[in-house]
Amino acid sequence: MIISYQGLESFKIQFGDIIIAYNPISKDSKFKSIKYGADIALSSTNHKDFNGFDMASRGDRLPFVVSGPGEFEIKEVFIKGFESSSEYGGKPLINTIFTVSLEGINLCFLGALSTNEISNEILEALDEIDILFVPIGGEGVLDPAHAYKLAVKLEPKLIIPMHYGDVGDKNALKTFLKEGGEDGNEALEKLTIKRKDLEGKEGDIVVLKSNV
């Protein structure tokens, strides 16, 4: 599995011939976006910063779109969506927490989540989390302290912070890494990982460089 970061909350996940786009940035957003073809596109929040399905389509490669709660199976990729909330953009929005299971690895995307209080129903429904994607920038999504508190509660093997830099708290990443005692982390160009690589990991933070 190869995970690359396109800024904000946008990720490209590739395994074999399958490509998943997570929260692709729309061309109408003020943030820069990258156009590529995906097989599956997930959008946690109906906002132009997260719903650029047009940017996840290229040539004859059109994605299967998932933009809300439910259970889905596409090309042996198992997806579950759980309704939560966001205050991104200054107003209440529905946010979907997604779990994605593929290649024996369980991913959990928190999207533009604004509260670290997740219902017991959702907590019980979440499978063991291998890789957690958590927003840390504040201003409508989790701030660094609350983001780390929730991340620890969910007990993932790896934590990938998102939603920082050009949006929200300018020092969010530094603060988040300090919360986790990993302020010396260097950002990676991409994360290439297999199931066996997760053995022995307990909440390790991985920082990815934005490709835009």
Split at pLDDT 50, 70, 90, the class of 105 is: very high
Side-chain half-sphere exposure of 114, counting CA atoms within 13 A? 15
Which pTM value belongs to this model? 0.95
User: What's the count of helices (H) and strands (E) in the chain, helices before strands?
Assistant: 3, 13
The architecture of the domain spanning 2-205 is 4-Layer Sandwich (3.60)
Alpha-carbon gap, residue 102 to 16, rounded angstroms: 11
Q: What is the pLDDT of residues 172-202, one digit of tens each?
A: 999 999 999 887 778 999 999 999 999 999 9
Share of the chain above pLDDT 90, in %: 86
| Predicted local distance difference test score (pLDDT) of residue 163 | 97
Tell me what pLDDT residue 60 has.
83
Show me where the domains of the chain are located: 2-205
Give the single-character DSSP code of 24: P
DSSP conformational letter for 26: P
Using a 10 angstrom Cβ sphere, with 0-12 exposed, 13-18 middle and 19 or more buried, the burial of residue 197 is middle
List Cβ neighbours of 101 (8 Å cut-off, separation of 6 or more).
Answer: 77, 78, 79, 107, 127
